[in-house]
Structure formats: structure tokens, C-alpha cells
Structure 1
Amino acid sequence: MDPARLIPAPEAIPSPWGLLEALLVLTFALHILFMNLSVGSALLAFLGRATGKHKDLAKELGHRAPTFLALTVNFGVAPLLFVQVLYGQFLYTSSVLMAGWWLSAIGAVIIGYYGLYVHDAKGESAPGLARLALGISLAFLLYTGFLLANNMTLMLRPAAWLAYMDNPRGSLLNLSDATMWPRYLHAIIAAPAVAGLYAALLGQKKRRQDWVDFGLAWFTRVTMLQILVGGWLLFSLPREVMLSFMGQSPLATAVLAASVVAGLAALLAGIQKKPMAAAALVVLTVALMSTTRSQVRLATLAPWFHPSSLPVTGELSPLIMFLASLAVGLAAIAYMLKLYAKSAPKTAGRG
């Protein structure tokens, strides 16, 4: 069977596809930053409790992890909606093919979220329960990321949808895809690096040099590992897609090169113990990597579809409402985070 026959007819979009794609990249970059902070903070807090080292930093990160996860979920809604608008015929199909797994992500996020709150509430009165809750939370959050990686790679492979003929139960996973595991690891491994950098910034603010050294050690070492995983991901791409990042597409090549340079500059800033400079460069790197991810999606789907072919209705009112809501929401979140930072408990002593 021709896989193209399995692709549903696309829907019209209200605004030009380039504008929607840019908003997808922007909102995904915000989502992935908070995801790295939430998962990475939970991981470093768990290791701190398990080893007994840097207990006060572990408490601080564990206290902030639920807030980071709430922001992760909220900032994850917008990019998911933009993917559905631009690539709905692919995402809906892959979601149905792995429906049993995909629906379980809702429960996994709820359990992960609840576990972070249990850890924060019971950290002093029941440390064993707190450690167990944090471990369970981490496991379910990592499982959720695994499902997302499966769905976001399966949607790019219409040829793999033919497996439905042998498995119509909604239990497909994209484990045979060469890009699935490096893509998953590329997102997850960044978490302790970003959280380590955040710990260094906290240490700088609280004049805790031990936090700065600990956080930058995590950031620099994991970033070095991330470079290797990024190379694995690049060479796991289909040949035509990989070559587009090696000169065949000037835009894709330029964006990838800029993201690599920004990442290396962030690493150098971390080695030089400049956490503020490293943080700014990490934000830039994530934005560029999100653009690279967009280029991968466009190049992979090129044989089947390009969003420029979608009919545009010209109804700008939904986009205007979204932009206004986004601006108000960002301002409100910035204000709430400012109040939250002021109300954070003071930390004393050394871990």
C-alpha cells in the first residue's frame, strides 16, 4: 500500500504558515527550558537526598520543581496546538496509532506532579517517603518524555504507519526509528545541565560558592555529553535530511551551525565560571535548536507535505487573541515568579 493514502486531508489555517511556525518555535523553546528545569531540578534533588551531599541545595531545587513543572505543562499547550494546526493530519494519525500509550501520558504527568509536591511537603517530616515520591515522580516524567519522543517521531514516518495492519490496537511505538532514542536523550540529558546552571545562578545570588561550583560542574560535564548525543542525532537522520544540514539547505545549515557555536560558547562560559553569560547563551542555544527541530520536521515531511500548501482563510482574530493572551500571560507569570522568588525560604548552612 502507498503510505500517502493513509495521510488524511489537511485543514485550512487562519494565518500564514510561516507566522504560525515561528510561534511554534518560540513557544516550544519556552516549554523545553522549563521542562529541563523541572526534570533536572528533580533529578539533582533526588541525587542530593540519595547521597546526602548538598542537602540544602537539594531542598531548594525540590521546593522549586513543582512550580517549574506547572510552567512546563502550561507552556507545552501552545506548541502542541500549533503542531496540530500545521501538521494535524500527521500528529492525529500517530496519536491514534499509539493511543493506548499516548492517553497514559495524562496520568503519568499527574502522578509526576503530585510526587513533586509530596517530596516538598514531606522532606523534613518523612524523608524516606519524600525520596520515594521524588523517585516515582522522576520515573513518570521520564516516561512522559519517552511517549512524546515516540509520537513526535512517528508522525514524521507515514511509511511506518503501515504497521497498523498488523497491530490495530493502538499500541504502536516508534522504537525502530533510528532517530527516536537520540532525540529522546538529546532532550532529557539537557535537563541536569540546565538545572545545574540554575543551581549555579542560585549560588551566585545567595553567595554560596559551593552551589556555584557544584552547578557548573553538572552543566559543563553534561553539556560535553550532550554534544556527543547531538552528533548521534544528526547522523541518525535520513540521508536527505542530514545532507540538508550539511550545505544542501543554506538556512538549515546556518541555523545548525549557529546553534553549535552558541552551545560551545555556553560551555566555555561555564568552564570560565560565568553562570550569567552561560545562562544567556543557553537560552539562545535552545531557541536555535528549536528552529533546527523545525527544519528537521519540514525536511522529513517534504516528500509528503509542506505547510505552505495549506489554504489560508485570513481570519486573524484568533491569532490576535492568542498574541494578546500570550502577552498578558507572560506578564502575569513574570510577576508571579517575582513574588515567588521573594517568598522563597532562606537557606542556611552548607551541604
Structure 2
Amino acid sequence: MDPASLIPAAEAIPSPWGWLEALLIGTFALHILFMNLTVGSVLLAFFGRLTGRQRDLAHELGHRAPTLLALTINFGVAPLLFVQVLYGQFLYTSSVLMAGWWLSAIIAVIIGYYGLYVHDAKFDAIPGLSRLALAVSMVFLLYTGFLLANNMTLMLRPEAWTAYLDNPRGSLLNLSDPTLWPRYLHAILAAPAVAGLYAALLGKKKRRQEWIDHGLAWFTRVTMVQVLVGGWLLMSLPRPVMLGFMGADTLATAALALGVVLGLAALMAGVSKKPGLAVGLTIATVLVMAITRAQVRLLTLAPYFSPASLPVKNELSPLLMFVVALAVGLAAIAYMLKLYAKSAPKTAGRG
């Protein structure tokens, strides 16, 4: 069977695809930053509770995690919508193929969210319950990330959709894809690295040198592992896509090279114990890697589809309304976070 025959017809888009792709990349970078902060904070807090080291830091990160998760979820809406607009015929199909698993992500996030509140509320009162709630939250958040990795890779493989003929129950997973595990690990390992920088900044704010050292240790060590996982991910890509990042496609090659340079520079800043510089370079790295991810999607789907071929209705008002709403929303969130930081208790373990 020709996989191209399984791809539904594309819908017209309201504005040129380049604008929508740029907004997809920008909003995804914001989402992934908050995701890294959330999942990484949970992981650092869990290992802190497990080992008994840096208990105050575990308390601090656990206290902030529910707010970070709420921001992660909200910032995830926009890029998901843009993916649906540009690549809906692929994403909707993969979502249906794994519908049972995909719908379970909603329950998983709710359980994870509730567990973070229990962990914070019972931290001192019932330590055992608090630790258990944190472990449950961590497992369900990692599970949700695994489902996202499955869906985002399955949508790129129309040739794998024929498995529906043998399994029409909506329970497919993309386990045979060689990019699944390195892609998932690459996303998850970024979390404790980013959260380590966050911990270092909290330590700098609260004048806790042990937090700074602990956070930078997480950042530098995990980032070193990331270099290896990133190489694994590159080698696991389909050969035409991999070659695109090795000189065959100028933009893809430039994006990958810039991302690697920025990542190594951030690592060196962490080794030099310059958390502020490491944060700036890491944010830049995440943005460039979001561009790289977009290039992976474009190059992988190239045999079947290009968003440049989508018909355009030239209805710019929805796009302008979104941009205005996004700007106002970002300003409002920044103001709320400022108020949140000011209202937090000024104790050693909370802030």
C-alpha cells in the first residue's frame, strides 16, 4: 500500500505558512522551557527526598512545581494549535491511531498535578505521603512525555500507519521508530539540566552557595550526557534527514551547528560557575533547537508534504488577534509571576 494514500487532504490556512511556522517555533520554545523547569524541578526534588540531600532545595522546588506545571500546560496550547493548523492531517491521524493512550494523557496530567500539591502540603506534616505523592507525580509526568514523543514521531511516519489494519483499536505506539527513545531521552534529560540552573539562580537569590553548587553540578553533568544523546538522535534519523543536517540542507545544518555551539558555550559557563550567563545561553539554545526540531519535521515529511503547498485564504485578522492576545497574555503572566515572587514566604526553604 502506498503510504501517501493514507494521508487526509489538507485544509486551507488563514495566512502564509511561514508566519504560522515562526509562531509555532516561538511558542514551542516557551512551552519547552517551562516543561523543562517543571519536570526538572520534580526530578531534582525527588532525588533530594530520596537521598536526603538538599532537603530545603527539594522543598523549594516542590513548592514552585504546581505553578510551573500550570504554566507548562497553558504554554503548550498554542504550539499544539499551530501544529494542528499546519500539519493537522498528520497529527490527527496519529492521535486517532493511538487514541486510547493519547486520551490517557489527560488523566495522567491531572494525577501528576494533584500529586504536586499533596507533596507540598504534606512535606512536613506527613513526609512519607509527601514523598509518595512526588514519586507518583514524577512517574505520570514522565509517562505523559513518553506519549507526546510517540505521537510527535508517529505523525511523521505515514508508512507506519498501515499497522492500523492489524490493530484498529486505537492502541498503537510508535515503538519501532528508531528515533523514539533518543528523542524522548533528549527532551527529558534537558529537564534536570534546566532545573539545575533554576536551582542555582534560587541559590544566588537566597545566598545559598550549596544550592548554586548543587544546581550547577546537575546542569553540567546532565548536559555532558545530552551531547551523547544528541549524537544518538542525529544518527537515528532517516538517512536523507540526517544528511540534511550534515550539509545537504543549509538551514538545517546551520541551525544544528549553532545549537551545538550555544549548548557547549552554556556548558562552559556552567563549568565556570557563571549561572546567569549559562541561563542566557541555554534559553538561546532551546530556541535554536526548536528551529532544528522544525527542520526535522519538514525534512521527514518532505516526501509526502510541504506546508508551503497549503492553500492560503489570506484572512490575517485571526493571526493579528492571536499575536495581540499573546503579547497581552505574556505581559499578564510576567506581572503575576512578579507578584507571586513577592508574596512568597522569605524563609530558607521557601520563596
Relative to the length of structure 2, the TM-score reads 0.99
Deviations 1:243-291 (A, max 9, x none): 0000001111001000000000000000000000000000000000000
Three-state SS of the structure 2 residue aligned to 1:296 is: helix
Distance (Å, rounded) in 2 between the aligned partners of 1:213 and 1:346: 21
Aligned-partner residue type, residue 131 of structure 2: R
Distance (Å, rounded) in 2 between the aligned partners of 1:266 and 1:348: 28
Distance (Å, rounded) in 1 between the aligned partners of 2:201 and 2:17: 38
Aligned-partner residue type, residue 269 of structure 1: A
Distance (Å, rounded) in 2 between the aligned partners of 1:233 and 1:48: 29
Distance (Å, rounded) in 2 between the aligned partners of 1:22 and 1:320: 14
Aligned-partner residue type, residue 42 of structure 1: V
Structure 2 residue runs of 5 or longer lacking an equivalent are: none
Distance (Å, rounded) in 2 between the aligned partners of 1:125 and 1:101: 36
Aligned-partner residue type, residue 216 of structure 1: L
Q: Considering only aligned residues, what root-mean-square deviation do their CA atoms show, in Å?
A: 1.0
Task: Please report how far the alpha carbon of residue 348 of structure 1 lies from its aligned counterpart in structure 2 after TM superposition.
Answer: 2.6
Distance (Å, rounded) in 1 between the aligned partners of 2:191 and 2:160: 30
Aligned-partner residue type, residue 58 of structure 1: A
Instruction: Verify: 1:132 aligned to 2:132, yes or no.
Output: yes
Residue 214 of structure 2 aligns with which residue? 214
Aligned-partner residue type, residue 296 of structure 2: V
Residue 114 of structure 1 aligns with which residue? 114
Residue 85 of structure 2 aligns with which residue? 85
Task: Please report how far the alpha carbon of residue 346 of structure 1 lies from its aligned counterpart in structure 2 after TM superposition.
Answer: 2.0
Distance (Å, rounded) in 2 between the aligned partners of 1:258 and 1:297: 18
Three-state SS of the structure 2 residue aligned to 1:12 is: coil
Residue 58 of structure 2 aligns with which residue? 58
Residue 167 of structure 1 aligns with which residue? 167
Residue 9 of structure 1 aligns with which residue? 9
Task: Please report how far the alpha carbon of residue 206 of structure 1 lies from its aligned counterpart in structure 2 after TM superposition.
Answer: 1.0
Map residues 135-146 of structure 1 onto 2, 5 A cutoff: 135-146=135-146
Residue 285 of structure 1 aligns with which residue? 285
Moved more, 127-136 or 46-55: 46-55
Residue 192 of structure 2 aligns with which residue? 192
Map residues 210-249 of structure 1 onto 2, 5 A cutoff: 210-249=210-249
Instruction: Verify: 1:153 aligned to 2:150, yes or no.
Output: no
User: Is the contact between residue 13 and residue 312 of structure 2 (CA under 8 Å) also seen in structure 1?
Assistant: yes
Three-state SS of the structure 1 residue aligned to 2:24 is: helix
User: Is the contact between residue 56 and residue 347 of structure 1 (CA under 8 Å) also seen in structure 2?
Assistant: no
Distance (Å, rounded) in 2 between the aligned partners of 1:59 and 1:125: 13
Residue 38 of structure 1 aligns with which residue? 38
Structure 1 residue runs of 5 or longer lacking an equivalent are: none
User: Is the contact between residue 186 and residue 229 of structure 1 (CA under 8 Å) also seen in structure 2?
Assistant: yes
Aligned-partner residue type, residue 308 of structure 2: S
User: Is the contact between residue 200 and residue 216 of structure 1 (CA under 8 Å) also seen in structure 2?
Assistant: yes
Residue 317 of structure 2 aligns with which residue? 317
Three-state SS of the structure 2 residue aligned to 1:57 is: helix
Three-state SS of the structure 2 residue aligned to 1:189 is: helix
Relative to the length of structure 1, the TM-score reads 0.99
Task: Please report how far the alpha carbon of residue 81 of structure 1 lies from its aligned counterpart in structure 2 after TM superposition.
Answer: 0.3
Task: Please report how far the alpha carbon of residue 166 of structure 1 lies from its aligned counterpart in structure 2 after TM superposition.
Answer: 0.5
User: Is the contact between residue 206 and residue 348 of structure 2 (CA under 8 Å) also seen in structure 1?
Assistant: no
User: Is the contact between residue 12 and residue 313 of structure 2 (CA under 8 Å) also seen in structure 1?
Assistant: yes
How many residues matched?
350
Residue 20 of structure 1 aligns with which residue? 20
Distance (Å, rounded) in 2 between the aligned partners of 1:187 and 1:209: 28
